[in-house]
Structure 1
Amino acid sequence: MSGPSVTIPDDRAFASFKSECLSEEGWSVTYNKGGIAVWSQLLEEGKSVHKIKCRMVSKDVSAETMYDVLHDIEYRKKWDTNVIETFDIGKLTVNADVGYYSWKCPNPLRNRDVVTLRSWLPMGKDYIIMNYSVKHAKYPPKKGMVRAVSIQTGYMVQSQGPNHCVLTYMAQLDPRGSLPKWVVKKFSHFLAPGAMKSINKACLKYSDWKQRHNPGFKPWLYPEQTTLPSIPLSELSIQHAESLENIDESSLAETHDRDDSY
């Protein structure tokens, strides 16, 4: 296998992600209202890579609950209105696994999917979950979907008190396509803030839901509970964007027949 091999993030990688979540250098504010802010970062002209950061202050949710909600894949299927399909493929270590996620894009864009290596780490009062795209022979790009590439995407939850936390979401993503300008604007002004509000709403309902759905099962906290098969790193390789389909959707006009509201 040529090029860099797949590695599991170490403490330095988590510290670097945290540092970038907190940094505002090089970022431009595109939205700031009601305790939610969105930033974007200009990358090279002509490149399809997008870099975005969202931050939400939540004054009615604990960091621990937020962390559980972001991890709980069964609950995500309940509250995430954008998810088409999501499942875990296998575990790598006690705090790293491989999973599949596909999501709806605003009409008339084609929907996207990713296979990612996800890792997580509680750091004092902070919790980090982050991922990047990998390639697995059993999960090639699906017909009708565009396989996107997560260069680095993740969440940082910071505890601010018993029922008070700050959530930062940061994504560096190659959607494998030239997107229309309206999509980028819509994501910054509506979809990203809407997604943050959905997460907060989901957190408020999580305790009741979890009590009825396998309440003690939290393998992200108790790795001995996992039922996932182990995957050797040798089965994975870095997902290079150049090897995937790249489509030009830049001229597509917005349509409103799909409900992408929150």
Structure 2
Amino acid sequence: MSILPDDAVFADFRKQCLATDNWVNKYDSNGMQVWVEVPAKKVKNAPKIHKIKCKMTIKDVSAATMYDVLHDSRYRKDWDPTMLESFDIARLSANADVGYYSWLCPKPVKNRDVVSLRSWQVMDDEYIIVNFSVKHPKYPPRKDLVRAISILTGYFIKPTGPDSCTFIYLSQADPKGSLPKVVVNTATQVLAPRVMKCVHKAGQNYPEWKQKNSPDQKPWLYPEQNTLPMMDPAELSIQRADSLENVNERSKVEGPDSEDSS
């Protein structure tokens, strides 16, 4: 079986984004809602990290622009204050790639990084992006960062008008390390609206920025523009959270030597 998401994966992700059954509302203010999933039945060995969903009603930015913002890695340097490093590694297909992202965490928590497979689909003016963590042979965990895990993370964007949209972020991610899961779940509910507001502002400023920065270059819409090297998806495997050791957050770091603890 291919590691690449198929139509069923996108359909299921869309269904989760629009579902209300088994989701509890934790926050609702100024066009922003945060929901946490409460599974209908207990599943053995289910992740202890909650699945969270953040929904934002955007009245001044089009769905197409918000979709471009999420894809444009050059622009991310301008709007993402927590980013340490971000780059695309390789193409896997016309609508999938693998990439690296690391980010700052508040002290004494160690900074995190993730290697993820990202895939996207545009149908009937609805935009979907999904990603999950993978093992890449050339990008193992590093000693100076904690390797986090995206079990499933993504976005669903639906137009509500020519310059308005519904923007939904859904995520189940494990930051690993020695953070208690209850702390992770609580912090995520608080941080998600802040991140969404930041992305919204990025959407407001994107058209002006893009006009000055390769306005015709959008390889996520035009695959023929993509200059990334091709990679066989079979070289990747899904990164499981339980195959990574829990790192002591307060441990002293000797240096950025690569070490695969998976």
Aligned equivalent of 2:6 = 10
Letter in 2 for 1:206: Y
Summarize the Cα distance change of 1:187–1:241 in structure 2 as closer, same or farther, 3 Å threshold: closer
Letter in 2 for 1:126: E
Deviations 1:117-149 (CA, angstroms, capped at 9, x unpaired)? 100000212100110111011000111211111
Distance across 1 between alignment mates of 2:2 and 2:82 = 28
Aligned equivalent of 2:70 = 70
Aligned equivalent of 1:103 = 103
Aligned equivalent of 1:113 = 113
**Corresponding position: 1:21 with 2:17:** yes
Distance across 2 between alignment mates of 1:32 and 1:108 = 31
Please report the TM-score for the alignment, with normalisation by the length of structure 1.
0.87
Aligned equivalent of 1:186 = 187
Query: How many residues in Structure 1 have an aligned counterpart in Structure 2?
Result: 244
Distance across 1 between alignment mates of 2:46 and 2:238 = 23
Kindly state the Cα deviation for residue 156 of structure 1 after the two structures are TM-superposed.
Answer: 0.5
Letter in 2 for 1:20: Q
Deviations 1:17-61 (CA, angstroms, capped at 9, x unpaired)? 000000112211111111010112257799542311100000000
* Contact map agreement 1:6 1:134 (CA 8 A) in 2: no
Aligned equivalent of 1:214 = 214
Secondary structure of 2:51's partner?
strand
Distance across 2 between alignment mates of 1:141 and 1:226 = 27
Kindly state the Cα deviation for residue 152 of structure 1 after the two structures are TM-superposed.
Answer: 0.9
1:50-199 matches, cutoff 5 A: 50-177=50-177, 179-180=179-180, 181-189=182-190, 191-199=191-199
**Corresponding position: 1:40 with 2:46:** no
Secondary structure of 1:50's partner?
coil
Letter in 2 for 1:93: S
Letter in 1 for 2:187: K
Kindly state the Cα deviation for residue 213 of structure 1 after the two structures are TM-superposed.
Answer: 0.8
* Contact map agreement 1:77 1:83 (CA 8 A) in 2: yes
The range that moved more, 97-106 or 178-187, is 178-187
Distance across 2 between alignment mates of 1:197 and 1:233 = 34
* Contact map agreement 1:134 1:237 (CA 8 A) in 2: yes
Distance across 1 between alignment mates of 2:28 and 2:126 = 23
Root-mean-square deviation (CA, aligned residues, Å) is 1.9
Please report the TM-score for the alignment, with normalisation by the length of structure 2.
0.87
Deviations 1:184-238 (CA, angstroms, capped at 9, x unpaired)? 333313x211111111111111011111111111000000001100001222111
Aligned equivalent of 2:205 = 205
Query: Identity over the aligned pairs, expressed in percent?
Result: 54
Letter in 2 for 1:35: G
The range that moved more, 136-145 or 169-178, is 169-178
Secondary structure of 2:86's partner?
strand
Kindly state the Cα deviation for residue 242 of structure 1 after the two structures are TM-superposed.
Answer: 1.8
Summarize the Cα distance change of 1:241–1:184 in structure 2 as closer, same or farther, 3 Å threshold: closer
Distance across 1 between alignment mates of 2:74 and 2:144 = 25
Letter in 2 for 1:130: V
Unpaired runs of at least 5, structure 2: 250-262
Aligned equivalent of 1:49 = 49
**Corresponding position: 1:231 with 2:227:** no
Secondary structure of 2:122's partner?
strand
Distance across 2 between alignment mates of 1:124 and 1:50 = 30
The range that moved more, 46-55 or 151-160, is 46-55
* Contact map agreement 2:49 2:185 (CA 8 A) in 1: no
Distance across 1 between alignment mates of 2:35 and 2:221 = 31
